[in-house]
Structure formats: C-alpha cells, structure tokens
C-alpha cells in the first residue's frame, strides 16, 4: 500500500469540502505550507464561519487579586512568595474598587487572575464574583483560569465540579483559558517545577466540567518555548476533542481560540529559550488554528502578542476577533513586555485591515457595529 505525503492541494480540497484535517496534514501546514497560501486557505475558512466582514473586539481589562503563588512556573515573572516585600493579596473591597474603576471606563469584561495562593478560601472567590455582579451589572466576571480552579479545589478539599458549581451560583458564566501553555505532558513536564502538578489532564478537567455546567470558556496556547511542532498539533487535537465533547453534550464550549507567544523577559525559562518566535510563526499559528479547529467559531488575533502591525495582518490570516483593550495588563509587563492601545486605535487597525469594527461581550454577543 502506498501512502501519499500531505500536500497543500489535497488539503485545500478537503478543507473546502468541509472535511476535517488529520494530525499529519496539520503538521504539514505548520512546517511546510507556503505562508501566503496557508493564509488564503485560512481566510476562506474564516468567512465560512463568520461570513460578514466584521472583526469583533471587547472593552476589557486584566486585573490581579494576588501575586502570591506556590507554583513557580519557569515562564512566569509575575509570582512572588509570601515573604517577598512586594507580595500582595487584595481583600474583596480593594478588588471591587479596581473593578469599579474599570466599569467607569466602559469595560464589559474583567479578566481576573492571580497566583495560586494557598491561604485563600472558596468564600473569597465566590465573593469576588457575587459582588462584581451585584455592584457592576455591565461587567461579566471572566475570572480564574484552570490552575486557580484546581488550587481552590485542593484548598477547599472539594471536587473541581463542585467549585465550578459554587462559582456559577455566585454569578460566573465564563472562564479564561490561561494555564494551558502547550497541552502536551512532554512539554508541561519541562515547564513545571512541581511536576506532576500542572498536567494536561488538570487543565482539561476544568474546561470539560465547566462546559458541562454551561460555562463558556476560551482555549488558549502559549507557544515559542520548549515545544516541538508535534506538540502544537497535539494541543490543537486535544482542544478540538474537548470541543467535540462539549457540542456532543449539547453545550457550546469554547467561544474562541487565542494563541500567543512566550516572552522571555525576566523569566527563568529565558536561559533555555534563546530567541522569541516573532511575527511569521504567529501568522502561521493563527492560520493553522483556523483550519484545524473546525468546531470553534472564533480565532483571536490580537495586537498584543506580536504588535499592532502583525495583529492587523493576522486578520487576513484567519483571525476574526481582535481581542480586547487590556487596560491594566500586568502579567506580561512583569516579564518586561509592555504594549498598550485604545478603543479608537483598535477600531482604526480593524478598518485598516479591511473590516468593520464590532464591539462584543465576553460571550461574543454583538453590542455595537461601527462604520
Ligand atoms: S503562571 Fe500563574 S501559576 Fe504559574 S507561577 Fe505564574 S502566577 Fe503562579
């Protein structure tokens, strides 16, 4: 029996017929497909999922309630130990003050994450959610990524599903996708100082349970460090499988897929990663994700990861969402990576790329279409 090696012509025909691509085909697209042709194919798929020339964005901010963390990830410059002089943990009132300031700027999504602080009980997290909903009805609390949910579960000695049920009862409807990095244990093992903590199955458990309880979540990927191309494909395959499961159970699952590259900065991992990956791999990742993840409607191409120009180009490589304003981003800033924008600038970049800017909510509901 002869097997044909994957090639772009066959893959394009398959994709245009609405068929799903295999791991081998994904690997070919990632490593060998000509960039412009890959982008063209991805853009055709983009218009199948989202036919209008709209690019969505959200007015959002990233807040942090604590930087105390006992996970010590090698790619992180944000965490502190309890003994560090600049360690902080805000109480609920202090956090609500920050959320209130964000709400007064028109923010509708607050993405809030913290370190894995072993001193914080479940009640604290529930109060952050319920007080946000009570005081700022226009803000959707997009709080706590999978490692935090696992930490709450461990500290409160309660299964993950129960933790998520409590948070849902407090008013939470979505979860951010942070903590996935690369969903391959061969990579996670190298990134975690506390292995076997931080396994792929832990991230998957949180999102699987969240979907089955009706949460919408995002799928993310931080690439450009210790992974091989095969690991990227494993990540996409696992993400696609999780979404298949959510849909098969009648849930909506992931709203979007959001890749970004690792930034070396002041992080310990920088000793092992000599170079950041740059714009071309980003465009390739956006395009590949659009083609591979045939069951996820939105692919987020942000101004934040590789800069505004690359973000703009990525809107013609399969991205249909431009992320958010990220008014108070701190985590990447700690790593030495500083990038800022405004609502008007986001709208201009989207128009320059040839699309209409559309303001959305965390759950991708449309709020306003701009000319
Ligand atoms: S990435 Fe998150 S979990 Fe890891 S050390 Fe930093 S704050 Fe802690």
44 Cβ contact list (under 8 Å, min separation 6): 15, 16
Mutation test residue for ligand 1: of 73, 117, 188, the one with most atoms within 8 Å of CB: 73
The model's pTM? 0.96
CA distance 321 to 360: 10
Q: Binning pLDDT at 50, 70 and 90, where does residue 333 land?
A: low
The pocket around ligand 1, CB under 6 angstroms, is made up of: 69, 71-73, 76, 78-79, 115-116, 147
- Tell me how far the alpha carbon of residue 114 lies from the centroid of ligand 1, in angstroms: 8
Q: Looking at the domain that runs over 35-369, which CATH code has it been given?
A: 3.20.20.70
Q: List, in order, residues 6 or more apart from 93 with CB less than 8 Å away.
A: none
Answer yes or no: is pLDDT of 238 > 90. Answer: yes
Cα–Cα distance, 59 to 20 (Å, whole number): 34
Return the number of other C-beta atoms located less than 10 Å from residue 366's C-beta.
11
For a mutational test of ligand 1's pocket, the pick from 63, 64, 77, 79, i.e. the residue with the most ligand atoms closer than 8 A to its C-beta, is 79
Ligand 1 pocket, mutate which of 71, 148, 150, 332 (most atoms under 8 A from CB): 71
Q: Are 214 and 168 in contact (CB under 8 A)?
A: yes
Pick the residue with more confidence: 304 or 15? 15
Residue nearest ligand 1's atom 1 by CA: 76
Beta strands in 224-362 (DSSP E): 254-261, 298-299, 321-324, 356-360
Rounded distance, CA 81 to CA 72, Å?
9
pLDDT over 60 at 189, yes or no = yes
- How many Å apart are CA 209 and CA 165, to the nearest integer? 9
Place of tokens 């709080």: 143
Of the pLDDT bands very low, low, confident and very high (cuts 50, 70, 90), residue 338 is low
pLDDT at 341: 85
Cis peptide before 252, with omega less than 30 degrees from 0? no
The b-or-e profile of 209-233 (16+ CB within 10 A means b, else e) is bbbbeebbbbbbbbbbbbbeeebbb
Asked if residues 298 and 364 have their Cβ atoms less than 8 Å apart, the reply is: yes
Distance 113 CA to ligand 1 centre (A): 10
Beta-strand pair 366-369/356-360: antiparallel
pLDDT at 2 over 60: no
Does residue 50 carry a pLDDT above 90? yes
The band of 163, judged by pLDDT with boundaries at 50, 70 and 90, is very high
Going by CA atoms, what residue is nearest to atom 7 of ligand 1? 115
pLDDT band with cut points at 50, 70 and 90 for residue 132: very high
CA of 194 to the centre of ligand 1 (A): 12
* pLDDT average, residue stretch 212-240: 98
Separation of CA 337 and ligand 1 centre (Å): 16
Ordered by start, the domain boundaries in the chain are 35-369
CA of 67 from ligand 1 middle (Å) equals: 8
Peptide bond between residue 2 and the one before it cis (omega within 30 degrees of 0): no
Ligand 1 center–CA 192 separation, angstroms: 10
The confidence score (pLDDT) of residue 327 equals 83
How would you class 108 by CB atoms within 10 Å of its CB: exposed for 0-12, middle for 13-18, buried for 19 or more? Answer: buried
> Does the pLDDT value for residue 229 go beyond 60?
yes
**pLDDT at res. 305:** 84
Q: Which atom of ligand 1 is nearest to the CA of 147?
A: 3
Gap from CA of 308 to ligand 1 centroid (Å) = 26
Mutate to test the pocket of ligand 1, among 114, 116, 267 (most ligand atoms within 8 A of CB): 116
Distance 265 CA to ligand 1 centre (A): 15
356 - beta bridge partners? 54
pLDDT in tens, 272-306: 999 999 999 999 999 999 999 999 999 999 888 89
Check residue 331 and give its pLDDT: 64
Percent of the chain with pLDDT over 70: 96
pLDDT at 326: 87
- Cα–Cα nearest to 25, from 294, 298, 242, 275: 294
Average pLDDT over residues 89-105: 96
Cα(122)–Cα(198) distance, integer angstroms = 20
pLDDT of res. 244: 98
Whole-number Å distance between alpha carbons of 147 and 141: 17
Closest CA to 237 of 279, 277, 282, 295: 295
User: Cβ(153)–Cβ(159) under 8 Å?
Assistant: yes
* Burial class of residue 305 (count of CB atoms within 10 Å of its CB; 0-12, 13-18, 19+): buried
Output the DSSP codes for 25-57. Answer: HHHHHHHTS-HHHHHHHHHHHHHHHS-SSEEEE
Q: Compute the average pLDDT of residues 156-172.
A: 98
Structure confidence at residue 337 (pLDDT): 64
67 CA closest ligand 1 atom index:
7
pLDDT value of residue 304: 86
Mutation pick for ligand 1 pocket among 112, 120, 144, 147 (CB with most ligand atoms within 8 Å): 147
As a whole number of angstroms, the distance between CA 34 and CA 297 comes to: 24
């Amino acid at each position: 029996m002869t097997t044909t090696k994957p090639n772009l012509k066959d893959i394009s025909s398959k994709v245009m017929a609405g068929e799903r691509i295999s791991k081998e085909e994904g690997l070919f697209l990632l490593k060998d497909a000509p960039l412009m042709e890959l982008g063209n194919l991805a853009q055709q798929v983009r218009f199948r999922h989202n036919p209008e020339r709209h690019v969505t964005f959200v007015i959002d901010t990233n807040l942090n309630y604590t930087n105390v963390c006992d996970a010590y990830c090698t790619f992180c410059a944000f965490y502190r130990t309890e003994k560090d002089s600049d360690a902080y943990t805000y109480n609920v009132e202090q956090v609500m003050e920050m959320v209130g300031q964000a709400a007064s700027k028109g923010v509708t999504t607050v993405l809030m994450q913290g370190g894995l602080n072993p001193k914080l009980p479940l009640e604290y997290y529930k109060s952050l959610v319920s007080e946000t909903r009570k005081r700022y009805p226009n803000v959707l609390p997009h709080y706590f990524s999978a490692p935090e949910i696992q930490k709450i579960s461990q500290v409160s000695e309660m299964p993950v599903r129960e933790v998520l049920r409590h948070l849902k009862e407090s008013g939470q409807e979505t979860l951010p996708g942070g903590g996935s990095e690369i969903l391959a244990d061969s990579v996670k093992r190298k990134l975690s100082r506390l292995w076997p903590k931080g396994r792929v199955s832990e991230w998957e458990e949180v999102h699987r349970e969240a979907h089955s309880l009706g949460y919408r979540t995002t799928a993310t990927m931080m690439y450009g460090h210790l992974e091989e191309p095969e690991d990227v494909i494993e990540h996409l395959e696992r993400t696609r499988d999780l979404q298949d499961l959510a849909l098969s159970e009648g849930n909506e699952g992931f709203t979007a897929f959001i890749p970004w590259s690792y930034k070396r900065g002041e992080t310990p991992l920088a000793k092992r990663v000599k170079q950041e990956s740059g714009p071309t791999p980003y465009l390739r990742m956006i395009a590949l994700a659009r083609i591979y993840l045939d069951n996820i409607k939105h692919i987020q191409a942000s101004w934040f990861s590789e800069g505004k120009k690359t973000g703009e180009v990525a809107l013609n490589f399969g991205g249909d969402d431009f992320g958010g304003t990220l008014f108070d981003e701190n985590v990447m800033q700690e790593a030495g990576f500083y990038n800022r924008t405004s609502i008007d600038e986001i709208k201009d970049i989207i128009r320059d790329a040839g699309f209409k800017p559309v303001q959305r909510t965390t759950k991708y509901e449309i709020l306003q279409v701009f000319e």
